[in-house]
Amino acid sequence: MRGIVPDAMLLGGFGIVEIIIALWILSGKKIFWPAIIAALMLFSIVLFNFRNMEVLFRDVALAAATLSLALGARQETKKQI
């Protein structure tokens, strides 16, 4: 996307998406989908910037936590049915 969209606009847009996902997770309603989206975003950040692992190692733990949250929410949904 760099070169197509100005960097400041790209960064601002990504920040807004992160805030929306965080608020959705915090709302507690249908947590599975925003948790999966957050995990995919974090894993892709690590994958595409693997050379900066000394900075991004925390993102691996955050991605695993959001994946765990998604799986827990999925199991909770199955119990209610």
Question: Per the domain annotation, does 62 fall within a domain?
Answer: yes
pTM over 0.85: no
Q: State the DSSP string of 17-55.
A: HHHHHHHHHHHTSS-HHHHHHHHHHHHHHHHHTGGGHHH
The total domain count for the chain is 1
Question: Per the domain annotation, does 38 fall within a domain?
Answer: yes
pLDDT in tens, 8-40: 998 999 999 999 999 999 998 999 999 999 999
Partners of residue 5 on adjacent β-strands: 2
Question: Per the domain annotation, does 11 fall within a domain?
Answer: yes
Question: Per the domain annotation, does 1 fall within a domain?
Answer: no
Question: Per the domain annotation, does 61 fall within a domain?
Answer: yes
Range of the domain at 39: 7-80
Question: Per the domain annotation, does 70 fall within a domain?
Answer: yes
